[in-house]
Amino acid sequence: MGRILAIDFGLKRTGLAVTDSLKIIANGLETVPTHTLISYLEIYFKKEVVDEVVIGMPKNLDNSDTDSTAGVRIFIKSFKKKFPEVPLHEHDERFTSKLAMQAMIAGGMSKKDRREKGNVDRVSATIILQSYMEASK
């Protein structure tokens, strides 16, 4: 049984999260420089069975595109070209960064660790994945 992998795409850094093999629990995986994302995924897909991928789609409150949406769409095209056999789903990512910060505070993460942008990206990817799993039930 494979996993579900989530991507919180950013222009500089990208947060990744993954489920356990039973697809019950979402866990932060890694934060990688975005320019290395495709090669990171290539290596990861060789090591782990991934049944599907979910990517956060940035939208404004009125459902219009944000400044980041175009970059996500470009990445989606590259992903589908490189990994045509892996289903890729878009999922609304509104408020995930804010929720990630609240979760880190509630979890007792130090102010220094919360300032580390990679931690926010990884937690955001976990929130995207958890939200996708709940919506898919």
Structural domain boundaries in the chain:
3-136
Q: For the chain, how many residues are written?
A: 137
pLDDT for position 67: 84
Quote the DSSP letter at residue 31.
E
Least Cα distance to 91 among 124, 121, 118, 123 occurs for: 124
**Nearest 10 degrees: Cα torsion 37, 44, 83, 54:** -70
Is the separation of the CB atoms in 32 and 14 below 8 Å?
yes
pLDDT for position 100: 57
pLDDT for position 112: 64
Assigned superfamily of 3-136:
YqgF/RNase H-like domain (3.30.420.140)
Q: Is the pTM of this model over 0.75?
A: yes
pLDDT for position 116: 63
Residues (pLDDT < 70) of the chain are 94-119
